[in-house]
Amino acid sequence: MSSILAVGNEIKRLTDGQVLRVRATDIGFATDIGPWCESTGNELLGVEKDNGHFIALIRKGRAVDASAGPSAAAGTAESNGRTIVVFSGDLDKVLAAFVIANGAASMGGEVTMFFTFWGLNALRKDHPPVVKKGLMDRMFGWMMPRGVRKLKLSKMNMAGLGTSMMKGVMASKNVDSLEVLMDKARQAGVKLVACAMSMDVMGLQREELIDGIEVGGVGMYLGAAGKSNVNLFI
């Protein structure tokens, strides 16, 4: 996925007709790049494997069959939105949500992630300011993980050992951490929305959440979902 996001950033710098040569080690790159080019209106000239790496040649833009009429040209430039509801607070599931979000952002169109209930823990600050709360709200805060660094695996956590092992394996294989994926998503323009109702129920206040997010309700989500052709619940 990181390779696809990098391709999206580089292709923006080219003019129509220029060719981008991409060298990737990601095993999924060879299958991802074709659909990505199709969705973004670019032309994949070819993919080959070379000494464990995948080499792809991509031409920015592509010729449109004149017989198809002007609607075909418009179709390649059209962008569609994507929305992701992040309900889970498990490390692996939040990780998957951001992988998908970054991939969607690289294809263009607005991407909205709506964090609700346990998913809100991914948006909590590591060291939030002291805010006035009731006892029940404080208890919720104590029992829930504070920020992405505290999230645990949904399976094989093994009192935290499994989570540490997973992070170590990801680092050894140059897979972006959740923190890095979140930063890339924000830089790519992915909209992060915290559910206002869930915040109220779980005793979280805006000051306790990371900067650069929005707080909204179901109306904001449904508005974004209505403009999207992909809606996911994780």
Got the DSSP string for the chain? Answer: -HHHHHHHHHHTTSPTT-EEEEEE--TTHHHHHHHHHHHHT-EEEEEEEETTEEEEEEESS----GGG-HHHHHHHH---EEEEEE----HHHHHHHHHHHHHHHHT-S-EEEEE-GGGGGGGB-SSPPP----HHHHHHHHHS--SGGG---SS--GGGHHHHHHHHHHHHTTPPPHHHHHHHHHHTTPEEEEEHHHHHHTT--GGGBPTT-EEE-HHHHHHHHHTEEEEEE-
For residue 210, give both structure tokens: 């990371």
Long-range contacts of the stretch 138-142 (C-beta < 8 A, 24+): 138/203, 140/202, 140/203, 140/204, 141/203, 141/204, 141/208
pLDDT value for 63:
57
pLDDT value for 64:
52
pLDDT value for 25:
79
Mean pLDDT of the chain: 87
pLDDT tens profile 2-49? 577 788 889 989 999 999 999 887 767 777 888 888 878 899 999 998
The number of residues in the chain equals: 234
Using 50, 70 and 90 to split pLDDT, how confident is the model at 136?
Answer: confident
Q: Which of 24-28, 50-54, 57-61 has the highest mean pLDDT?
A: 57-61
pLDDT value for 71:
47
Mean pLDDT of the 186-202 span: 93
The C-alpha atoms of residue 222 and residue 234 are separated, in whole angstroms, by: 16
Cα-flanking dihedrals φ and ψ of residue 228, to 5°?
-110, 155
* 29-38, 39-48, 137-146, 212-221: least confidently modelled range: 29-38
**Domains observed in the chain:** 2-77 (3.30.110.40), 81-233 (3.40.1260.10)
Using 50, 70 and 90 to split pLDDT, how confident is the model at 172?
Answer: very high
Listed residue (83, 82, 150, 93) closest to 119, CA to CA: 93
Strand partners, 43: 59
pLDDT value for 73:
44
Percent of the chain with pLDDT over 90: 57
pLDDT value for 100:
95
pLDDT value for 75:
43
Residue 65 has pLDDT above 90, yes or no: no
Mean pLDDT of the 142-160 span: 92
Query: Do β-strands 111-115 and 19-24 pair in parallel, antiparallel, or remain unpaired?
Result: unpaired
Q: Comparing 182 with 30, which gets the higher pLDDT?
A: 182
pLDDT value for 182:
96
pLDDT tens profile 71-113? 444 444 444 799 999 999 999 999 999 999 999 998 888 999 9
pLDDT value for 34:
86
